[in-house]
């Protein structure tokens, strides 16, 4: 049962906020992730498309810029449903626009960190999540509360940062940088979380997760604690939800929280905003 899944980027390929000398855009990183990472994760009958937004506020650390970026990103998701995609993965560990997207489209929309946190509850009693810069911690804490999973996370600082920054192309080009730069920083924080009672570690970043997966890092060294790559499990969840929708007719509930207005009303309301 083949599926067509959209990986919706939060940025354009040109990301000036990164400001990395010698790297003009992030396209090469996405190409590496597509060839080495996504093709390894998906089933043979899954068609995966990586699609950037046409305009971006380059939100990473700002709730206001996240708001602006979500408008453009959700517009792409609306178009994707019209084009016949079976499911959508939001390509960011902050899970931006997740609830809004589930309202306006009928196909499954997957939040990577939401998926990873729920999976962590199946694999262990307590989990912790690690992001890449401290400024993102409040975003993930917000989501932990929203998902109702506070009691399943460790009590003290369940969301932490390994402070590797967001210069993603530097990680993947060349891939050896992952082992030299990313893993030591991540592992230090992961072991601190384990000392606080974490039995599972969630990566709350769609750059960090794939980096560790590409390096074959799925368990904290010297422990039996699994590391969940939020991006990988989001893709597998998108495949599963698409299969369930096709075989059982079950998809996002439109009863209350994600209840949609009629499509023609939504389209009319978007016009003044040139959408």
- pLDDT (mean) for 51-77: 89
The residue among 272 and 183 whose pLDDT is bigger is 183
Domain with CATH 3.40.50.1860 in the chain: 3-111+233-273
Burial letters 149-182, b for 16+ CB under 10 A, else e: beebbbeeebbbbbebebbbbbbbeeeebbeebb
Q: How high is the pLDDT of residue 17? A: 55
- Mean pLDDT confidence for 20-36: 63
For all residues of the chain together, what is the average pLDDT? 90
Longest Cα–Cα distance of the chain, Å, equals: 57
Among 31-40, 90-99, 144-153, 225-234, the minimum mean pLDDT is found in: 31-40
pLDDT of residue 18: 55
| Span 48-63, pLDDT tens digits | 998 989 888 877 789 9
| CA neighbor of 5 nearest in space, from 75, 128, 91 | 91
- Provide mean pLDDT across the span 154-163: 97
Residue 63: in which H helix or E strand, if any?
helix 63-82
CA 96, 102, 108, 114 torsion: positive or negative? positive
What is the structure's pLDDT at 6? 96
Strand 46-51, strand 3-8: pairing: parallel
Q: Which CATH fold would you assign to the domain 113-231?
A: Rossmann fold (3.40.50)
- Banded model confidence at residue 12, pLDDT cuts 50, 70, 90: confident
Question: Which pLDDT does position 16 carry in this prediction?
Answer: 61
pTM for the predicted model, two decimal places: 0.92
Whether 23 shows a pLDDT value over 70: the answer reads: no
Per-residue pLDDT band for 33 (boundaries 50, 70, 90) equals: confident
For 14, the 3-state DSSP assignment is coil
- Are 157 and 190 a contacting pair, CB within 8 Å? no
- At residue 168, the pLDDT reads 73
Q: What confidence score (pLDDT) does residue 263 get? A: 86
Determine what percent of the chain falls in helix, strand and coil, rounding each to the nearest 5: 50, 15, 40
Higher pLDDT, 41 or 194: 194
Domain 3-111+233-273 fold is Rossmann fold (3.40.50)
| Predicted confidence (pLDDT) per residue in 164-220, tens digit | 987 777 777 666 778 888 999 999 999 999 999 999 999 999 989 998 998 899 999
pLDDT band, residue 25 (cuts 50/70/90)? low
Identify the residue whose tokens are 């023609």. Answer: 264
Residues comprising the chain, all counted: 275
What is the average per-residue pLDDT within 79-99?
96
- 130-138: average pLDDT: 96
CA–CA gap between residue 210 and residue 198 (Å, rounded):
21
Q: Which part of the chain is CATH 3.40.50.12500?
A: 113-231
Phi, psi of 118 (to 5 degrees): -65, -40
C-alpha 123/C-alpha 32 separation (Å) is 30
The residue among 269 and 137 whose pLDDT is bigger is 137
Are the beta carbons of 117 and 144 closer than 8 angstroms?
Answer: yes
């Amino acid at each position: 049962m083949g599926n067509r899944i959209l990986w919706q980027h939060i940025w354009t390929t040109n990301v000036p906020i990164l400001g990395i000398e010698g790297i003009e855009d992030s396209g090469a990183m996405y190409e590496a992730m597509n060839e080495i990472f996504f093709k390894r994760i998906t089933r043979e009958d899954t068609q995966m498309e990586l699609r950037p937004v046409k305009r971006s506020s380059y939100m990473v650390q700002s709730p206001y810029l996240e708001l602006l970026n979500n408008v453009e990103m959700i517009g792409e998701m609306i178009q994707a449903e019209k084009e016949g995609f079976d499911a959508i993965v939001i390509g960011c560990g902050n899970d931006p626009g997740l609830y809004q997207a589930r309202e306006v489209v009928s196909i499954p929309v997957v939040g990577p960190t939401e998926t990873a946190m729920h999976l962590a509850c199946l694999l262990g009693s307590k989990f912790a999540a690690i992001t890449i810069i401290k400024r993102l911690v409040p975003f993930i804490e917000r989501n932990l509360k929203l998902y109702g999973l506070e009691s399943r996370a460790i009590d003290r600082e369940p969301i932490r940062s390994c402070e590797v920054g967001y210069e993603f192309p530097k990680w993947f080009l060349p891939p050896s940088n992952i082992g030299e730069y990313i893993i030591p920083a991540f592992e230090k924080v992961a072991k601190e979380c384990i000392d606080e009672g974490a039995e599972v570690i969630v990566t709350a970043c769609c750059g960090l997760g794939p980096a560790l997966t590409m390096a074959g890092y799925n368990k904290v060294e010297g422990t039996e604690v699994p590391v969940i790559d939020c991006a990988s499990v989001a893709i597998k969840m998108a495949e599963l939800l698409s299969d369930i929708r096709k075989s059982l007719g079950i998809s996002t509930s439109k009863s209350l929280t994600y209840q949609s207005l009629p499509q023609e009303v939504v389209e009319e309301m978007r016009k003044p905003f040139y959408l």
